[in-house]
Amino acid sequence: MNAARSGAYRPLADRLRPTTLDEIVGQRHLVGPDAALRRALAAGNPHSMILWGPPGTGKTTLARLVASTADAQFIAISAVLAGVKEIRAAVERAQASRGTRNTVLFLDEVHRFNKAQQDTFLPYVEDGTFVFIGATTENPSFEVNNALLSRARVYVLKSLEAADLDALLDRALADPRGLGGTGLRLEPDARELLIAAADGDARRMLNLLETAADLATPAQGGRVLSGETLRGAIGTATLRFDKGGENFYDQISALHKAVRGSDPDAALYWLCRMFAGGCDPLYIARRALRMASEDIGNADPRALTLALEACAIYERLGSPEGELAIAQAIVFLACAAKSNAVYVAYQAATEDAKRYGSLEVPMHLRNAPTRLMKELGYSKGYRYAHDEPDAYAAGERYLPEGLPERRYYVPAPRGLEIKIAEALDARRARDRGARGGSRGE
């Protein structure tokens, strides 16, 4: 009888789930011969932990093995489905077995619980009712509250490398629990395609293999899965990209740093990675505006204009044509002269604005639209720059009394800011002459 029809079906990934630490593929830094976690588990002393890593890297498997190596009761709940009732039932089970058997409580996707829900576990972790293991794809620093984090050790799981996935494929094709005995063989291009489509996710690879296995072509001694057949079964592979999650911010950070570092090739790569993962192109276009202002500034003012135009072009054309305009802007930003002088100046001026409070606007700089205001001295002594030589009122001061002389903006020796610096230096020299050297800068 067909296993699926009989209700006995188990996905290939579940059937091949490791039952010992030695069967785990990858994560050698955690379960290798000399790894700290392996030594702790071998001693039979499990401890509370947070397992942080991408999907399909073995978080659930590792949690189960922690329990089995310690001969502990294993209780698994998912933060996606669990509520107060499920948490209470898990605690009661752990309390019922306390004194006779240890309990490992595994909370999958712990980041989906709010801080108050996470707090409910604290007293039971504290008094040893159970060993707590949380699994998350998000950064625990942001998603797990400090009290729980302080009572658990964080272990980082890594995406599986191609060699790890290749070894897992061999096991899937040979192991009786998997496809062993079915005579299924993979052509080289099919194997390569499957590993690439997995994108470091073992579960994803095994699910794709199981789906495509039924499409394999009969051949002598079994069946053969070709690259062409597998490509049709896979369809369009989606790269790992969690909108708004840790992976999202890592990639936009890499893109920004590549632009700042003047590497157009790396910038294009990260841009296309984000596009392929489903990122909203307008989000990247808006970030390009920030890059143009923060990292290029007046060294090449065209950067801001081009980034703004890329936003407008995408809004008018949409996908996929609009992405090219964003790519053009990103490449230009990466190649442009760099200066963060305006960014630094803005931060410094903001700090002074907060530090010195509400300093009065000098009388000569105030507007005087009424006769009373003129009688009170508003605007008195103001020098209209356009009436001065070269449209510059040498020696005039525009900062409020009580604020020392400041030079927030220091142009970088690159691009247009070279000319800007020369002009500012000339004007400051005229200021010194007009003030008779009595005022410093």
Residue 439: pLDDT over 50: no
Predicted local distance difference test score (pLDDT) of residue 217 = 87
Residue 50's Cβ-count burial label (10 Å; 0-12, 13-18, 19+) is buried
Long-range contacts of 399-406 (CB under 8 A, 24+ apart): 400/356, 400/359, 400/360, 400/361, 400/362, 401/359, 401/360, 401/362, 402/356, 402/359, 403/352, 403/356, 403/359, 405/439, 405/440, 405/441, 406/348, 406/349, 406/352
Judgement on whether residues 102 and 198 belong to the same structural domain of the protein: no
Judgement on whether residues 36 and 76 belong to the same structural domain of the protein: yes
Tell which of 189, 206, 234 closes a domain. 234
Q: Which of 72-76, 79-83, 291-295, 321-325 has the lowest mean pLDDT?
A: 79-83
Q: Work out the average pLDDT over 385-406.
A: 93
Provide the domain count of the chain.
Answer: 4
Q: Work out the average pLDDT over 292-300.
A: 96
Judgement on whether residues 41 and 109 belong to the same structural domain of the protein: yes
Q: What is the C-alpha separation between 120 and 122, in angstroms, rounded?
A: 6
Which residues have C-beta within 8 Å of that of residue 45, sequence separation ≥ 6? 70
Q: Given pLDDT bands bounded at 50, 70 and 90, which one contains residue 248? A: confident
Q: Given pLDDT bands bounded at 50, 70 and 90, which one contains residue 237? A: low
Judgement on whether residues 38 and 143 belong to the same structural domain of the protein: yes
Predicted local distance difference test score (pLDDT) of residue 236 = 58
Residue 126 within any structural domain of the chain: yes
Judgement on whether residues 220 and 256 belong to the same structural domain of the protein: no
Judgement on whether residues 48 and 137 belong to the same structural domain of the protein: yes
Predicted local distance difference test score (pLDDT) of residue 279 = 86
Residue 239 within any structural domain of the chain: no
Half-sphere exposure of 290 (CA within 13 A, CB side): 11
Residue 90: pLDDT over 80: yes
Judgement on whether residues 33 and 141 belong to the same structural domain of the protein: yes
State if pTM tops 0.85: no
Residue 310 within any structural domain of the chain: yes
Could you tell me which residues are beta bridge partners of residue 111?
none
Q: What tokens were used for 216?
A: 């394999």
Cβ distance 21 to 65 under 8 Å? yes
Residue 113 within any structural domain of the chain: yes
Judgement on whether residues 39 and 128 belong to the same structural domain of the protein: yes
259 versus 199: which is more confidently predicted? Answer: 259
> 411: cis peptide before it, omega within 30°?
no
Judgement on whether residues 166 and 144 belong to the same structural domain of the protein: no
Residue 240: pLDDT over 70: no
Residue 298's Cβ-count burial label (10 Å; 0-12, 13-18, 19+) is buried
Q: Work out the average pLDDT over 178-200.
A: 88
Q: Given pLDDT bands bounded at 50, 70 and 90, which one contains residue 142? A: confident
Predicted local distance difference test score (pLDDT) of residue 8 = 67
For residue 220, report the phi and psi dihedrals to the nearest 5 degrees.
-60, 125
Residue 379 within any structural domain of the chain: yes
Could you tell me which residues are beta bridge partners of residue 131?
104
Residue 4: pLDDT over 60: no
For helices 162-174 and 202-213, angle between their N-to-C axes, nearest 10 degrees: 40
Q: What is the CATH number of the domain that holds 369?
A: 1.10.3710
Find tokens 């069946």 and name the residue. Answer: 223
Q: What is the CATH number of the domain that holds 144?
A: 3.40.50.300
Q: DSSP letter string over 199-243?
A: TT-HHHHHHHHHHHHTTPEEETTEEEE-HHHHHHHH-S------T
Predicted local distance difference test score (pLDDT) of residue 238 = 56
Judgement on whether residues 268 and 381 belong to the same structural domain of the protein: no
Written as one letter, the residue type at 395 is: G
Domain range for 53 is 27-156
Residue 15 within any structural domain of the chain: no
For 401-435, what is each residue's pLDDT tens digit?
999 999 999 999 999 999 999 999 999 999 999 88
Judgement on whether residues 146 and 167 belong to the same structural domain of the protein: no
SS3 153: strand
Predicted local distance difference test score (pLDDT) of residue 183 = 86
Residue 342 within any structural domain of the chain: no
Tell which of 201, 234, 267 closes a domain. 234
Residue 327: pLDDT over 70: yes
How much of the chain, in percent, has pLDDT values that exceed 70? 94
Q: Work out the average pLDDT over 334-352.
A: 96
Tell which of 211, 234, 257 closes a domain. 234
Q: Work out the average pLDDT over 176-187.
A: 88
Mean pLDDT of the chain: 89
Q: Work out the average pLDDT over 134-151.
A: 89
Estimate to the nearest angstrom the gap between the alpha carbon of 149 and the chain centroid.
Answer: 20
Judgement on whether residues 316 and 251 belong to the same structural domain of the protein: yes
